[in-house]
Amino acid sequence: MSKYWNKLINDIEPYVAGEQPKPGQKVIKLNTNENPYPPSPKVKEALENFDLTTLRLYPDTNSTDVIKAAAKFDGVSEANIFCGNGSDEVLAICFQTFFEKKALTGLPVLMPDYSYSFYPVFSEFYDIRRQTIPLKEDFRLDPDDYIGVPNCGIVFANPNAPTSRAIAVEDCARIAKANPDSVVIVDEAYVAFENEYESAVSLINEYKNVCVVRTLSKAFSLAGIRLGYAVGSEELIEGLRRARDSFNSYPVDRLAQKVAEAALLDKDYYNETRSKIIATRTWFEKELKELGFTMPPSSANFVYAKPPMDCGTLYQNLRNKGILVRYFNKPVLNEYLRITIGTDEEMKELLDAIKQEVKNAENS
């Protein structure tokens, strides 16, 4: 608390990011859903050819080259793309653009009760009423729960985090169709890791109220540059630009734009790394189940696993061994670990450590 802070900053509970190791600290980092593989070789080439003298100039306001590459990647028009500093910034601008403040409407934005924990923070920060919709007992999002509920907008992650489950694009369409006066934000940070995936981008021509948010942090191995984008109707994209240009008209730096363009244009490498992660995840899920873990089916680059021992103890013991996974010490969530899929070598080392911990718990 501080007398110099306004009431909002005094009262709000900020988002808590996953633990970051200190410089030089050797750990197996499986707690923030980063990609274990390096970015595309074309990213390295782009960096080597980057003209440093251009950094004295402001960047392209609209990230034109990134928009062209993203439009090609997703098979849409350039007018359907909006870029920002990571999907978190894009989501924040979406909240400001599409959802009304409490003072203007009594209607809430709808969101799952267990999902990306930035959503409720954004709601509080931008003074937007929210209503959480319970997931089913198996952590499934039921589209019927978002039909017939008065709202000023809807947001959900698909696949969901931290629970890892996805719904079909047809279910996204049902939600959008049933809420024609509200923007439906589909946060697709992890969509690349579904076995047979179809993005909600396929809906934007038929449903003008669908806004899909993507990130280069996960599937493109570019968490370090902070670049995300939205895909939607021209009307939605123009609204995002109006909001952006009201407080920061030069959001994405020159270097990030060049790197992002290179990554988006290398779809072969994107498919190669996502396939590796899916294969490792499939193997790792099987191994955990044999140890007595239970988990929902994962469509992400992580698993959401309930161990056959005290979850908090397992988390801390792994941390003591230099293995970082994510533990949410809140009701229901505190029974599960969210474990990022790393390289085969990292997952084998983690599995050996888990086996020893489970054995110790059984013998205690």
Q: What does the H/E/C string look like for 106-132?
A: CCCEEEECCCCCHHHHHHHHCCCCEEE
Residue 19: per-residue pLDDT: 85
**Is pLDDT above 80 for 212?**
yes
Using a 10 angstrom Cβ sphere, with 0-12 exposed, 13-18 middle and 19 or more buried, the burial of residue 22 is: exposed
- The predicted-structure confidence for 79-99, as pLDDT tens digits, reads as follows 999 999 999 999 999 999 999
**Is pLDDT above 90 for 309?**
yes
> Do the domain assignments include residue 164?
yes
> Do the domain assignments include residue 121?
yes
> Do the domain assignments include residue 1?
no
Residue 287: per-residue pLDDT: 98
- Asked whether residue 61 falls in the same domain as residue 194, the answer is yes
Peptide bond into 162 cis (omega under 30): yes
- Asked whether residue 95 falls in the same domain as residue 111, the answer is yes
- Asked whether residue 234 falls in the same domain as residue 123, the answer is yes
Tokens 């694009």 — which residue?
A: 169
Residue 250: per-residue pLDDT: 87
Q: Are 251 and 85 in contact (CB under 8 A)?
A: yes
Q: How many domains would you assign to the chain?
A: 2
- The predicted-structure confidence for 273-300, as pLDDT tens digits, reads as follows 999 999 999 999 999 999 999 999 999 9
**Is pLDDT above 90 for 16?**
no
> Do the domain assignments include residue 247?
yes
Separation between Cα atoms, residue 235 and residue 62, nearest integer Å: 16
Average pLDDT over residues 308-321: 96
State the CATH number of the domain containing residue 206. 3.40.640.10
State CA 53 to chain mean position distance.
Answer: 34
- The predicted-structure confidence for 179-211, as pLDDT tens digits, reads as follows 999 999 999 999 999 877 789 999 999 999 999
Q: In the chain, how many H helices and how many E strands? A: 11, 12
Q: Which helix (H) or strand (E) holds 157?
A: strand 153-157
pLDDT category at 22 given cuts 50, 70, 90 is confident
- Asked whether residue 289 falls in the same domain as residue 253, the answer is no
Mean pLDDT of the chain: 96
Segment 192-196 long-range contacts (CB within 8 Å, at least 24 positions apart): 192/218, 192/219, 192/270, 192/274, 192/301, 193/159, 193/218, 193/219, 193/274, 193/277, 193/278, 193/281, 193/298, 193/299, 193/300, 193/301, 194/159, 194/166, 194/299, 195/278, 195/299
Domain-terminating residue out of 266, 283, 309: 266
- Asked whether residue 258 falls in the same domain as residue 272, the answer is no
Separation between Cα atoms, residue 292 and residue 307, nearest integer Å: 7
Average pLDDT over residues 212-239: 98
- The predicted-structure confidence for 113-151, as pLDDT tens digits, reads as follows 999 999 999 999 999 999 999 999 999 999 999 999 999
**Is pLDDT above 90 for 23?**
no
pLDDT category at 236 given cuts 50, 70, 90 is very high
Residue 18: per-residue pLDDT: 86
> Do the domain assignments include residue 120?
yes
- Asked whether residue 240 falls in the same domain as residue 260, the answer is yes
Residue 150: per-residue pLDDT: 96
Residue 196: per-residue pLDDT: 76
Q: Which residue, 180, 138, 269, 290, is CA-closest to 216?
A: 269
Residue 198: per-residue pLDDT: 86
- Asked whether residue 189 falls in the same domain as residue 234, the answer is yes
User: Which domain covers residue 58, as residue numbers?
Assistant: 41-266
- Asked whether residue 262 falls in the same domain as residue 272, the answer is no
